[in-house]
């Protein structure tokens, strides 16, 4: 049975960056396998991507749940993921250096859910789901090709540095929402 991916939204609002990631997650795992929790102001757009709950996952008291946290000591594997029906991931934007927000704002409040890492480096929420989904489907983390720190060219002069870990596609290109790339290239102030 396919697990349910639960994104516990922990940003003050659902901005464009979050929405680009949430849309890609829905494309990756399907809206029937995706819940967004801790959503104080549901939107029609979010409701097209998955089930939307006002309640925090911390209050759902789920059995058979695990949480993904870069600070967790145990690596997620195709074997240890098998018993879980729910996989909880932080709806937290990347920060550098990492502030350990997943542990402080999520993991410590759901003691029933065992925590796992997918390496020590920080993936975006959508790429964390991509990597976990590959592991669920039987691919060990160590065989997933990644690149740490990428740069997006905005024009002939400027580029944006993203100090996070990116899974690579078959041609060696970092995986990222095309909408997000477009947003980053056109947004003023970077
Ligand atoms: C952009 S990360 C936020 C990380 C945050 N800066 C921190 O230090 O906790 C978004 C979410 O993806 C998941 N994630 C990203 N990288 C991970 C890793 N290496 N191991 C486990 N989970 C990870 C976590 O659930 C995390 O809350």
Q: Is 184 in the pocket of ligand 1 (CB under 6 A)?
A: no
Look up the pTM and report it. Answer: 0.97
Q: What is the pLDDT of residue 1?
A: 82
Instruction: Please provide the DSSP assignment of 139-187 as one string.
Output: --GGGS-EEEEEEEE-SSS-EEEEEEEEEB-TTSPBP--HHHHHHHHH-
Beta-bridge partner residues of 148? 165
Q: What is the pLDDT of residue 154?
A: 86
CA 44, 2, 45 angle in degrees (round to 5)?
10
Distance CA 17, CA 45 (A): 14
**Percent of the chain, pLDDT > 90?**
94
Among candidate residues 12, 29, 31, 168, the one with its CA nearest the CA of residue 93: 12
Domain boundaries, the chain: 4-140, 147-186
Q: What is the pLDDT of residue 173?
A: 96
Q: What is the pLDDT of residue 24?
A: 98
Q: What is the pLDDT of residues 58-101, one digit of tens each?
A: 999 999 999 999 999 999 999 999 999 999 999 999 999 999 99
Mean pLDDT of the chain: 96
Q: What is the pLDDT of residues 6-32, one digit of tens each?
A: 999 999 999 999 999 999 999 999 999
The token pair at 96 is 């550098």
Q: What is the pLDDT of residue 187?
A: 82
Q: Is 118 in the pocket of ligand 1 (CB under 6 A)?
A: yes
Q: Is 131 in the pocket of ligand 1 (CB under 6 A)?
A: no
- Class of the CATH-defined domain 4-140: alpha beta
Instruction: Please provide the DSSP assignment of 52-116 as one string.
Output: E-SS-GGGT--SSEEEE-TT-SSB--TTTTTT-SEEEEEE----SS---HHHHHTGGG-TTSEEE
The token pair at 33 is 């396998």
Q: Is 70 in the pocket of ligand 1 (CB under 6 A)?
A: yes
Measured by CA distance, the residue closest to atom 10 of ligand 1 is 125
Return the higher-pLDDT residue of 54 and 154: 54
Centroid of ligand 1 to alpha carbon of 122 (angstroms): 5
Q: Is 124 in the pocket of ligand 1 (CB under 6 A)?
A: yes
Give the ligand 1 atom nearest the CA of 67: 25
């Amino acid at each position: 049975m396919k697990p349910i991916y639960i994104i516990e939204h922990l940003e003050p609002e659902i901005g464009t960056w979050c929405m680009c990631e949430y849309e890609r997650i829905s494309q990756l795992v399907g809206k029937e396998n995706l819940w967004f929790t801790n959503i104080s102001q549901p939107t029609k757009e979010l409701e097209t991507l998955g089930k939307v709950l006002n309640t925090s996952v911390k209050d759902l008291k789920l059995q058979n749940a695990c949480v993904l946290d870069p600070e967790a000591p145990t690596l997620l594997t195709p074997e240890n993921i098998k018993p879980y029906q729910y996989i909880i991931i932080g709806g937290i934007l990347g920060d550098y250096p990492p502030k350990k927000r997943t542990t402080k704002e999520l993991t410590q409040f759901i003691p029933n859910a065992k925590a796992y890492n997918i390496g020590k480096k920080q993936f975006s929420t959508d790429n964390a789901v991509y990597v976990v989904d590959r592991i669920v489907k039987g691919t060990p983390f160590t065989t997933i090709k990644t690149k740490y720190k990428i740069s997006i060219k905005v024009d002939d002069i400027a580029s944006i540095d993203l100090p996070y870990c990116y899974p690579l596609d078959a041609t060696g290109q970092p995986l990222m929402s095309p909408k997000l790339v477009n947003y980053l290239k056109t947004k003023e102030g970077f």
